[in-house]
Chain A
Amino acid sequence: MTDPTADAGPPVDVRFTGVTKRYGKAVAVKALSLDIPRGSFFSLLGPSGCGKTTTLRLIAGFETPDEGDVFIRDRRVTETAPYRRDFAMVFQNFALFPHLTVEQNVGFGLRMSGVDRQARSRAVASALEMVKLSGFAERYPKQLSGGQQQRVAIARAIVMKPAVLLLDEPLGALDKNLREAMQVELRSLQRELGITTVFVTHDQEEALTMSDCVAVMRDGVIEQLGPPREIYERPATEFVATFLGASNMIDARVVEQGAQASLVEAPCGRFSVNGSYPQGTHLRLAIRPERIVLAGNGQDLPLPAIVRDVVYRGMTAHLFLECQGQQLLAFIQNTDQAALDWASGQTVTVALPPESLVLLDKGGAARG
């Protein structure tokens, strides 16, 4: 937000400045500032009660902030009624009007905006074509499958050509296969239309798959904001590291400061980390299970460990290791016949590659 290069980037479609929303004494969103650039697919990710849905509803105007301002395309909309804001929304349970046909549902927004019948039916037809539901115009929502209802809800939103498209866990009501297919479809539709999209989800995989930018929320605050790869590979806090997939946490103390790297000591032994830290500094480190390197006994990896349990998962195996009292979880890829030949009780050696170790913020304080 203070980044001077921000002005040179694409225009901002949604902006929050110091937005706070309380429900009684509970704070749902805490002093949130946020810029969502035009055309991006922006995800709000977090557990239930983290404030992600409230944030979305603040953009829509279904909630009004107690403090701060909300902007849509440079227009201050803090107190503007929802029907005067330039957005469209796909609701969690689709909220298709049961008494209207697919065509009437999709055309509803245009009808309310006073678009004449002919222009409306053309726009509806092309929106239905875009979601591959051309033959279904006369059906009622009850006569459609869950996936088809989802498409109608999307068509009803995109036909409005809104400044911002809000998606409130729209895939949650679908079964797994359909959900994955819809993820891809929704993403390509969003790219094709270049429509700024805010997506609320508690599913980390979904957020990583679909987004240009992910904001991980917790207790009304964005813990970390960045592209999916950065969020996953360089988590800033322990919460982010554990909410997005599994992570091993290691507490270590610097024993030797170098210019580029420092040697640290942890319960599992000594290893080096990137960066220069003064001797005696306590570091909280995280490493993804798939980044732990494993070799049989007798090979020269630095840290000895014992395999406590092996869980075969098909594509991978999960190895539960004990390394001098430190529990470590490692994912081993099933790359060849012998790759998963590990047995519990076996002695092994492991390495923690410095480039895979992530230094976490101590307090888990908010950034972004």
Chain B
Amino acid sequence: MADGFRLTRRWAALALLAPPLAVFLMFFVAPLVSLFWVSFHAPSQTELFGAELTVEHYATIFTDPFYHTIILRTLSTGGVILLLCLVLGYATAYVLAPLPQRQRLFLLLLLVVPLMVSNVVRAYGWIAILGRQGLINSLLRDTGLIDRPLLLLNSFEAVSFGLMTILLPYMVISVANALNAIDVQYREAAQSLRANPFKTFVHVTWPLSSPGVASGMLLVFLLTLSAYVTITLLGGPRMKLLVSLVFDAVGAFRWPLAAAISFVLLALALAISALILVVLRPQRVQGRG
């Protein structure tokens, strides 16, 4: 009886698991595997990919200085955005977390409002501010500080800053929730054990908030890697990142190259995610080392 019941339960669990698993395998794993397969083929003018097997795309990416520049630029853009989001986001969350529930939720909601505006619209907003005829240039010109407009758009700074403002709320919400979940008793315990506010932060608050910091950083970094609209509109033809190259390769019907760049992008995402988790060790809050 009991065994039969257990068996039934196992089948029921499998039955429940089957549909999402099938969808996952069919629409994620299978395309990914086929994309990987595509990336090792020569390009073709008529087909998706040529018949001939080759590693030339990967070879190009790893040897061509152009790709090195773009990879480095992608990493440094991601790094700057991560750093800005971490500092600004943590500081904001630190202020928000101790507020009374209603006030905190209201302010978090305010933070989310910009996310309701499309990235395209917001990128054009930045263009209106940073462009040649934009707000900043006309202000500077009117006050006589400059004679000819500064080139603010299509720059590393424009892309980093534009993306940072889009991604910051993810960091704030993630960290604010983590900080809010920390029992006050831990901080009081630290203080009762001679830890001043700074030491309390370093040894107690920071490590206990690390799960929120890690999830915030992962979100920010992965969204940076996959952002396209903001990069294209604010970066223009001069400030291209890896995603832009995928798009360009597809536009030139070089599908296998696009596939290879995608996998480099995926590898970067995995590597940096792993690095974030290794440095922050969010699992330590669970008390298992």
- Distance in Å: Cβ of A151 to nearest Cβ of chain B: 16
Q: Are A113 and B194 in contact (CB under 8 A)?
A: yes
Q: Are B287 and A112 in contact (CB under 8 A)?
A: no
Residues of chain A within 8 A of B105, CB atoms compared: none
Which residue of B192, B203, B208 contacts A87 across the interface (Cβ within 8 Å)? B192
CA–CA, A88 and B191, complex, Å: 9
A83-B195, A109-B194, A112-B194 known; A98 vs B189 contact (CB < 8 Å): no
CA–CA, A113 and B191, complex, Å: 11
| A108 close to chain B: CB less than 8 A | yes
Q: Are A112 and B193 in contact (CB under 8 A)?
A: yes
Interface string of B171-215 (1 = CB under 8 A from A): 000000000000101101111111110011001100110000000
- Which of A138-146, A235-243, A321-329 lies at the binding interface? A138-146
- Distance in Å: Cβ of B214 to nearest Cβ of chain A: 13
Q: Are B194 and A83 in contact (CB under 8 A)?
A: yes
List 16 extra interface pairs beyond A60-B192, A95-B189, A140-B289, CB under 8 A: A60-B188, A83-B194, A83-B196, A89-B189, A89-B192, A91-B185, A92-B185, A97-B204, A99-B208, A99-B284, A99-B285, A108-B195, A108-B203, A142-B286, A142-B288, A156-B193
| A160 close to chain B: CB less than 8 A | yes
Q: Are A140 and B193 in contact (CB under 8 A)?
A: no
Residues of chain B within 8 A of A99, CB atoms compared: 207-208, 284-285, 287
A97-B204, A98-B285, A99-B208 known; A88 vs B193 contact (CB < 8 Å): yes
- Distance in Å: Cβ of A276 to nearest Cβ of chain B: 52
| A82 close to chain B: CB less than 8 A | yes
A: number of interface residues (CB 8 Å) = 29
CA–CA, A96 and B199, complex, Å: 16
CA–CA, A83 and B185, complex, Å: 14
Interface string of A62-95 (1 = CB under 8 A from B): 1000000000000000000111000111011101
Residues of chain A within 8 A of B183, CB atoms compared: 93, 95
A99-B207, A99-B284 known; A93 vs B194 contact (CB < 8 Å): no
- Distance in Å: Cβ of B129 to nearest Cβ of chain A: 43
Within 8 A of B (CB), among A143-161: 143, 156-157, 160
Within 8 A of A (CB), among B194-246: 194-196, 199-200, 203-204, 207-208
A91-B185, A93-B185, A112-B199 known; A98 vs B286 contact (CB < 8 Å): yes
CA–CA, A141 and B199, complex, Å: 21
Residues of chain B within 8 A of A113, CB atoms compared: 194
- Distance in Å: Cβ of A107 to nearest Cβ of chain B: 10
CA–CA, A156 and B185, complex, Å: 14
Q: Are B192 and A88 in contact (CB under 8 A)?
A: yes
Residues of B within 8 A of A (CB): 183, 185-186, 188-196, 199-200, 203-204, 207-208, 284-289
* 24 residue pairs bridging A and B, Cβ less than 8 Å apart: A60-B192, A81-B191, A83-B194, A83-B200, A87-B192, A88-B193, A89-B189, A92-B185, A95-B185, A95-B186, A97-B186, A97-B190, A97-B208, A98-B285, A99-B287, A108-B190, A108-B195, A108-B203, A109-B193, A140-B287, A140-B289, A142-B287, A142-B288, A160-B193
CA–CA, A266 and B204, complex, Å: 63
- Distance in Å: Cβ of A142 to nearest Cβ of chain B: 4
The residue in A81, A87, A98 that gathers the most chain B C-beta atoms within 10 A of its C-beta is A98
Residues of chain A within 8 A of B204, CB atoms compared: 97
Q: Classify the interface of chain B: helix, strand, loop or mixed.
A: helix
Q: Which 7 A-B pairs have the closest CB atoms?
A: A109-B193, A140-B287, A142-B287, A95-B185, A95-B189, A82-B191, A112-B194
- Distance in Å: Cβ of A116 to nearest Cβ of chain B: 15
A88-B193, A108-B203 known; A141 vs B287 contact (CB < 8 Å): yes
CA–CA, A157 and B193, complex, Å: 8
Residues of chain B within 8 A of A61, CB atoms compared: 191
CA–CA, A91 and B192, complex, Å: 10
A86, closest chain B residue (CB): B194
- Distance in Å: Cβ of B288 to nearest Cβ of chain A: 6
CA–CA, A112 and B200, complex, Å: 9
B208, closest chain A residue (CB): A99
A88, closest chain B residue (CB): B192
CA–CA, A109 and B285, complex, Å: 19
Q: Are A91 and B289 in contact (CB under 8 A)?
A: no
The residue in A91, A112, A113 that gathers the most chain B C-beta atoms within 10 A of its C-beta is A112
Residues of chain A within 8 A of B285, CB atoms compared: 98-99
CA–CA, A221 and B257, complex, Å: 80
Residues of chain A within 8 A of B194, CB atoms compared: 83, 109, 112-113, 160
Which residue of B191, B208, B284, B288 contacts A83 across the interface (Cβ within 8 Å)? B191
Q: Are A98 and B287 in contact (CB under 8 A)?
A: yes
A107, closest chain B residue (CB): B193
CA–CA, A60 and B183, complex, Å: 18
CA–CA, A27 and B186, complex, Å: 27
Residues of chain A within 8 A of B190, CB atoms compared: 97, 108, 112
- Distance in Å: Cβ of B4 to nearest Cβ of chain A: 36
Residues of chain B within 8 A of A157, CB atoms compared: 192
- Distance in Å: Cβ of B60 to nearest Cβ of chain A: 45
Residues of chain A within 8 A of B199, CB atoms compared: 112
CA–CA, A166 and B284, complex, Å: 29
